[in-house]
Chain A
Amino acid sequence: MTQAMIQARKLTKRYKRGGETLVVLDGLDLEMSEGRFYALMGPSGSGKTTLLNLIGGLDQPDEGSLVVADEELAHLGGAELSRWRARNIGFVFQGFNLIPVLSALENVELPLKLTPLSRAERRKHAQFALELVGLADRMHHRPRQLSGGQEQRVAIARAVATDPRVILADEPTGDLDRKSADQVLELLGRLNREFKKTILMVTHDPHAAEHAQSIVHLDKGQLGRVEENAPRVPAGEAQRSVRT
């Protein structure tokens, strides 16, 4: 039986806008297992990104309990939450969010500065992560010298560089063409299958969601249906898996 990586109980989040209180998450109960690939779907305003931000420790819930990677996030303060995030969470954003003044290698190395690794070890880890996403030949390029798909692959390399337990992806293919989007989705699938990363991906795109093992629907801040899915595995990888 797989262990729960994410557990939300009566999770509530409200925002105040112009004197009006909006309930974005309304007593949400949710459990996600370790090592699975989840797609989080729902209409705009259903609370997908808010949930992702809460799970990633970027925001705090108003009520309820949220345990991620064995830590009750409501108990963590600002600096503790930052350290926890550095150890456990890798983020992939729709807009890539690379630091424009740093090269691809330096961007991937950035989160490793929060680890006790030496400079040489950091370099080695960052190079490995870039090789993993197929960008070994673009290490010294700045983000503006890369295509959108390449930028997102650098962002994925940065997300996995510290070997986090959870990868949170917010519309990772939203700004990409179909071919680049498929490459990114296949990469996320591979991270899940080969490295057993727990992945939670917010998406509007049913095609993207097909890469996940479970599709979780949110509606008006509450959990909707959960669909189990048999994700596509690239042909070459499937043959390798049969052989082993």
Chain B
Amino acid sequence: MISVKMVWRNLMRRPLRSVLTTLSITVAIGLICFLSTVITTLYSGIQNADNRRLAVMSAVGLFVELPIKYQAAIEKVPGVEMTTKFQWFGGYYRSQKNFFAQFAVDPATLFDMYPECRVPAEQREAFQRGRTSCLIGSALAKEFEWKVGDTIPIIGALNPHPDDRAWEFQVAGIYHSEVPNFDNRTMFFHWDYFEETLEAGGREPGVGVFSVRVAPGADVPRVIADVEQAFHDSEQRVDCQTEAEFQRQFVTMFGNLPLFVGWIGTGVLIAILMACINTMLMSLREQGAEIGILKALGFTDGATFGMLVVQSLVLCGLGGLIGIVLAWATQGAIGTALGTTFPGYTIQGVTYALAAAVTVGVGLVAGIVPAWRAANLRCVEALRETN
């Protein structure tokens, strides 16, 4: 009943205050989107894990290598359909600040094990053919402006080249994954190239992780137990776990980050709520006499209540909308800045919904307190202030 124009002009009565309040909501909603996405990114690997895939690593820890010969032994365990191996390379491009994940892999089995790793057929074949070829993620290609055919020199910090120079890889293909547990900022290269080069320098390579696919219908806990049992009396015991459990290990490496981030988010929310209530109470103080006039003209308590709530919703809604748009627009840059710490940083639809709900919630709560007061303001008392 009371026009949007009037609501808007009431907000613009103190433009600086309204702009500052809107900006504070923008920052808060942007921050909530960021913090929430950090959590969803952390857990996305667990949520999207394939329940038929297992990871086998040393029982001592992830950075202790397993012998290559274990692969054949794992494949003999009943219920195992296929395996592939990974070894962390730990190099960097030109300078240590250009860090990203590189893995030595078996090109023959990689794509069968990870069908989510999408790459054009001709590029896949080129990668499988070329001994020094590599496959890079689309995010990595974009970040370093690499294209198919480029030669990438990588300094092997963990695995120095025996000729004391950079390892050289030819980009044979650029993969893209739509699932967050297979990030687009990784480089894969030939196991054979890795093995032969290290052996030339007198080193025998080991395997960081064997990826195992369980046959359809096989009992996964039974297969896990059998794999671990197979190496019970070997030179190294192994830890076999589901892909989800394996991903969970990375999450726990950050400590209780979700709780910590949750507390920060709650703190931001309370602070912004207080700021909005304060702004709306100041608005009520300025508009108190006018609310008396509106009531004298015949507007009901409900109409004045609605006016203050709508005013608060417009103020918060505008700030929240800008915050959500900014969070959406900057997610690529933030994802790049976070790099391998939070690979696959992408704001999910549920996060946008959460941000929108928080915006509306703050708007309603901040508006209800002054609106309630306005509705209960006695017309005669409000008018007495002006006359």
Contacts and interface: CB of A to CB of B under 8 A. Distances in A.
Do A and B assemble together? yes
Q: Give the interface SS of chain B, mostly helix, strand, loop or mixed.
A: helix
B387 A170 contact: yes
Given A82-B298, A86-B298, A113 B386 contact: no
Contacts of B10: 101
A111 B1 CA distance: 10
Given A59-B380, A97-B293, A97-B386, A111 B9 contact: no
A91 B296 contact: yes
Nearest to B298: A86
B9 A95 contact: no
A83 B300 CA distance: 8
Give the bracket for the number of chain B residues in contact with chain A. Answer: 20 to 34
Interface in A89-121: 91, 93-95, 97-102, 106, 110-111, 113-114
Contact of A93 (B294, B298, B378, B383): B383
Which of A87, A98, A99, A114 is the most central at the interface, judged by chain B CB atoms within 10 Å of its CB? Answer: A99
A58 interface: yes
Interface string A73-95: 00000110011011100010111
Give the bracket for the number of chain A residues in contact with chain B. Answer: 20 to 34
Interface string B355-387: 000000000000000000000001110010011
A56 interface: yes
B289 interface: yes
Contacts of B9: 101-102
A53 interface: yes
B13 interface: yes
B295 interface: yes
Contacts of A82: 295, 298-301
Interface string A129-144: 0000000000000000
B313 to A, nearest CB: 18
B297 interface: yes
Interface in A129-161: 158
B2 A58 contact: no
B6 A58 contact: no
A62 B24 CA distance: 48
A94 B298 contact: no
Nearest to A115: B298
Contact of A56 (B296, B301, B387): B296
Nearest to B385: A95
A58 B298 contact: no
B290 interface: yes
B295 to A, nearest CB: 7
Contacts of B96: none
Which of A53, A78, A110, A158 is the most central at the interface, judged by chain B CB atoms within 10 Å of its CB? Answer: A110
A101 B9 CA distance: 6
B98 interface: no
A89 to B, nearest CB: 8
B299 A114 contact: yes
A83 B9 CA distance: 26
A166 B254 CA distance: 74
A79 B300 contact: yes
Nearest to A59: B380
Contacts of A94: 387
B1 A78 contact: no
A202 B383 CA distance: 16
A97 B1 contact: no
Contacts of A58: 295-296, 379-380, 383
B43 to A, nearest CB: 48
Given A58-B296, A58-B383, A82-B295, A99 B6 contact: yes
Given A99-B293, A102-B9, A53 B380 contact: yes
B299 to A, nearest CB: 7
Nearest to A119: B3
B302 interface: yes
A129 to B, nearest CB: 14
12 contacts: A53-B380, A56-B296, A58-B295, A58-B296, A59-B378, A79-B300, A85-B296, A94-B387, A95-B386, A99-B6, A99-B294, A111-B298
Interface of A: 53, 56, 58-59, 78-79, 82-83, 85-87, 91, 93-95, 97-102, 106, 110-111, 113-114, 158, 170-171
Given A58-B296, A101-B13, 13 more contacts: A59-B379, A79-B301, A79-B302, A82-B301, A85-B297, A86-B298, A86-B299, A97-B296, A99-B6, A99-B293, A99-B294, A111-B297, A114-B297
